[in-house]
Structures are given as structure tokens and as C-alpha cells.
Structure 1
Amino acid sequence: MGKRPLKNRMRRFAALAAGLLALPALTSCSDLVSRGFLPGARDTTNNTELITDLWVNSWIAALVVGIITWGLMIWVIVAYRRRKNTVGFPPQLSYNLPLEVFYLAIPLIVIGVLFVFTDREQRAIDERYPNPDVVIDVFGKQWSWDFNYVKEQVHEDAGQQAHLTGGYGAPDRLPTLYLPVGKKVELHLQSRDVQHSFWVVDFLQKRDLYPGHEQYNPYISITPNRTGEYMGKCAELCGEYHSEMLFKVRVVTQQEYDSHIADLKAKGNTGNLGTDFDRTPISAPAPQALEPAQ
């Protein structure tokens, strides 16, 4: 009688485990699941597919390792559990060299494989275009953005802080960056004051802006593949109104892009916004020299 409840519990546990393992397969037809629950589409830019595949495959590898680990733990717990009427302790082993080599080597192999694939994709994503079609200076500032179209020698209106309670924060009045679809775009990211982070959510890329550190790679090279409007934000806590440092990106046809550039020229937004809006972060005053003792 004592064995039957144990067998029933084991059957229920096995059924539950099988159901949990089958759940990903049953939902794999979902486009959202196939993207690893990432926003946007796989082909929003030329880089989103690389990022999505790296993300999803990393989770698959982690899931496989997790299932094997959990399975071994459960097997050890069940197979080597203390039986009724057992007296004393089981045989004690000080070490098991093959087992120790195994559980040291396997994690190193897994980490090495993940490193190789991550490094390969990151190099491909960070590679700059030798001759981009569009070059844009992006300036982050507390708490908005400025955009210069370098080759066209025009600029958007100087960005102003959004207000989430209304007013300037209405969606049609956020600072907006225009990009032509299918063209090679280079964004040169700079900060006017403190550290910021440029993030277009659906592009699956963000990059920090470090003021005064030009040795850091402050570029994003992308080719937008889908027309549409995408939301952007600062992803680095940069002060009191960080949450209102919002902007939009509109990916449009070449004709619409040329028309927008012409409109900027017609309204007088010629040339580039320079250093007029730069602000040196407030720093502590320099320590005063001590007066010599009398």
C-alpha cells in the first residue's frame, strides 16, 4: 500500500514535467515566441535578425542546460533518497576525478561557444559603413535630442523636453528623426552634458553616450528595412526628467525623406546645430590650498 501513493506521485510529476516541456513546442507557431518575446519584427533593420537569432539561440542553449541539470538533480534526489529503515550513512567518497573534470569542462565549453557567437555577431553589428548614404549627428542632452543631417547640411528643430502629463509631450510633437528606408545610415552619437543612452526599442540596439570620450565607439550603422514610426528613449538614468527624454524615428521612402529635407531648408533649418546647446556638467569646486601655518 505504501508503494502505490509513491508511484502515483511519480506519475503525476512525470505528466507535469512533460506538459511543461511541451508548452514551448505548442506555442512555437507564435511569431512573438519565435522572436524570443522581443519587440518589433525580425527585419526592422539589417541588424535585428542577427540580434534576434543570438538572443533566441542563447535561450535555447540555456534551456537545454537547465533541463539536463534539473533532470540530474531530480534523478539523484529520487534514486538516492534515504529509504525507510535505513541505518547509518551511505558510503562517503572524497572525490570523483572523471565527474569533476566533466562538470568543469562542460561549462567552459558552453561559455566558449557563447563567446564565439556573441563576438562574431557584435563585430558584424558594430562594423561601420565605408561610405554611408546618410550621416546623422545625434546629440543627447538633459532632457531631449538634437539631430543634424550632415550631408544635407540641415537640422531638426532643437529638441525640447517632453512632458508626460501633456503639452509638449504629445506624440506628434516629440523630437523626430527621419531615415530613408533601404539606405545605409550612420548615426554619430554625442552628449552635450551627462551620460545618456540612445535606444530605439524596435531596432533592438542601444548605445551609451559618454561626454568627452571619443575613443569609445560612438556610432550605430544600420539599414532600415521597414517604413513606419518607432519610439526611442534614453536608456541611461541621466537626471530628474530622464523618463521624459523621448523621441521618435520615422522610416520613410526616399521621396518622403527628400521632401522632409526640402521642408527643413525652406523653414531656415540650414547648417548644423553646433555647441551652443552644450553644457558642462556641474562639478564640485576645486579644493582650496591650505594657508601656511604662522
Structure 2
Amino acid sequence: MKWAVLVVAAVVMSGCSPDSNSDLKRLALPKGSSDRTDDIWELWLGAWIAVLVIFLVVFGLIMYSAARYRRRHDDEIPPQIRYNLPIEALYTFAPVIIVAVFFFHTVTSQNRVLERVDNPDHTIEVVGSKWQWAFNYMDEQAAGNENVFDYGTPQDPAELYLPVDESVRFVLKSPDVVHSFWVPEFYFKMDVVPGKINSFDLSPTREGTFTGRCAELCGLYHSRMIFKVHVVSRDKYDQRMAELKADGQVGAPAGSKEANEIAGVEGEDKTGRVDKVQSGAGDYKDGAGD
């Protein structure tokens, strides 16, 4: 019976897909929207299958023990055993094997997800600061070879535009505390660490508007540190870049001034003048994360 249930469950799960419109068939994941979703999906599906197998084995042993060693009608107490070496060995080594298998597949999926693109179509510098996001389009240059940027605030979240089916390298930096750049539909997130440059590559594969978040508890307005991701056609992407240039949102590679400040915090310099606290995010050098 146990194996029959397992076979039926495996057949049912074989119909699951990250592209399905059904939440049940996606196993509670959002609909996949990047070229890195397949590896994460396979890991997620494998974890569900492993959990199901472990549940059936443990539940089966519990039911077997309750039925096999229950008290009989003659009210005789079953033999009491202090320990059982084979069972104790099983309970010791089985979890180690399970964790090792999970670890192997996690590292394998991670390595595939972090594979680099030789020549990405776009490079976007992401600056996460308390409590806002700034996006610097490093290959979109205006007059004077200045890069195009966009940024937001907790009251007015930033908007990131990406062309569909074109590779993007995200370069992550922070001027203050640890943040985490996360777009659930991309099945990917990475920490944004002060003093360290992290980066990753992916290609959006589905047009739409998604909500990105900071996935690291970063302070008072962490819950409002969100941004919108617009995956659009190349024509609409070029139109958006032209709008940013027309609005004068061009600047140094570090992007807007606001991207290098702690939003809403003021400090006093040695002359007694009160100014915004500068963080110098643009001075960080590319580290091992790139």
C-alpha cells in the first residue's frame, strides 16, 4: 500500500511545472520568469518527493509499531526492549545520508544557477540602501558618457526595466547594511553586502510586471523596501531609457546621489554643517563576488 501511494504521488508530481497556471502544479512557487528557474524547480520538486518518501516511511513505521506491538486481549504486556542497535544505527545514519544528498543537489543547482554569461547584453548596477533601491544602467549612456539611472524611496518605490530574452548582469552594492535583492518570479536572490561586490547573470523569459523585495531584515522600513520589475519588449525598454535621459536622470557610474546616501538621515561634518550622510558606495572595488 505504501509503495502504491508513492508511485501515485510520483506520477501526479510528474505533471507539475514551473510554467503551469495552477498554484498546485507549481507546488506553491510563483510562475517562473527567468532562464535560471529550471534548476531551482528541479531542486524544489526533488525536495518535495524526498519529504513525501520520508513521511511515508516514518508514518508507516509508526502505524506498524502501533498495530504489531499493541496490548492483546489477554492484557499481557508486550516484551520491553531498552534499545535496538540496528534501529538506532538507522536513525543515526539515515539523517546524515538525507542531508548529504540534499547538500549535493543544492550545490549542484547553485553552481548551474551561478554560471556566467560570456558577454551579457546589459549590465545593471543595483544599489540597496536604507531604505530604497537605485538602478544604474551601465550600458545606457547619455551625453558626456554618463550612465542612466533610476531610483525610488519608501513612498515611491523604484522601477526596474528589463528587455525580455536578453541577458543581464546585475552588480550589487550597498552603502550601509546588508540587503538582499530578490525577485520571486526569477527564483533567485542574492545578498547586497557593504564593502563587497556580488553579481549574477540571468535572462528574463516572460513579459510582465513583478514585485521585487529586500529579503534581508535591514531596519525600520525593511517592509517598504520594494521595487517593481517591468520585463518588456526591446522597443519599450529603449523608450524607457529615452524617458530617463530626457528627465535628466544621468550620472556617474554609482548612479544618483540618493543611491549613495542613507535616506532621511542627516549628519554633521567637522565644520558644523549639517548634510546628508555620504556612504561612498561608488568607491568599493570589485571583489571575489564578481
Q: TM-score, with normalisation over the residues of structure 2?
A: 0.76
Equivalent positions of 1:54-69 (< 5 A) are: 54-69=43-58
1:181 offset after TM fit, Å?
Answer: 0.7
- Out of 144, 150, 155, which is 2:148 matched to? 155
Describe the SS at the equivalent of 2:200.
strand
Answer whether contact 1:35 1:56 (CA < 8 A) is retained. no
Aligned Cα root-mean-square deviation (Å): 2.9
CA distance in 2, matches of 1:111, 1:139: 35
CA distance in 1, matches of 2:130, 2:262: 11
1:185 offset after TM fit, Å?
Answer: 0.5
Equivalent positions of 1:72-151 (< 5 A) are: 72-87=61-76, 90=79, 92=81, 94-96=83-85, 98-151=86-139
The aligned counterpart of 1:37 is: 28
CA distance in 1, matches of 2:98, 2:160: 41
Distance 1:91 1:271, change over 3 A: closer
The aligned counterpart of 1:4 is: none
CA distance in 2, matches of 1:275, 1:246: 18
| Bigger-Rg structure (1/2) | 1
- Correspondence 1:188 to 2:188: no
CA distance in 2, matches of 1:86, 1:78: 15
Answer whether contact 2:148 2:255 (CA < 8 A) is retained. no
Structure 1, unaligned runs of 5 or more: 1-13, 163-167, 169-173, 283-294
1:134 is aligned with what amino acid?
A: H
Distance 1:175 1:276, change over 3 A: closer
CA distance in 2, matches of 1:91, 1:201: 52
1:91 offset after TM fit, Å?
Answer: 5.4
Distance 1:175 1:88, change over 3 A: closer
Percent of paired sites with the same residue: 39
CA distance in 1, matches of 2:139, 2:201: 16
Distance 1:246 1:92, change over 3 A: closer
- Correspondence 1:223 to 2:211: no
1:45-65 CA distance string (max 9 Å, x none) = 001122122112111111111
Q: TM-score, with normalisation over the residues of structure 1?
A: 0.75
Answer whether contact 2:165 2:203 (CA < 8 A) is retained. yes
Describe the SS at the equivalent of 2:250.
coil
- Out of 39, 43, 47, which is 1:50 matched to? 39
Distance 1:228 1:89, change over 3 A: closer
- Out of 176, 187, 197, which is 2:180 matched to? 197
Distance 1:89 1:81, change over 3 A: closer
- Out of 195, 200, 206, which is 1:212 matched to? 195
What is the number of residues matched between the two proteins? Answer: 249
Deviates more, 1:47-56 or 1:148-157: 148-157
Structure 2, unaligned runs of 5 or more: 142-146, 266-290
CA distance in 2, matches of 1:181, 1:144: 25
Relative to its length, the structure with more strand (as a share) is 2
Relative to its length, the structure with more helix (as a share) is 1
Answer whether contact 1:36 1:52 (CA < 8 A) is retained. no
Answer whether contact 2:131 2:262 (CA < 8 A) is retained. no
Describe the SS at the equivalent of 2:23.
helix
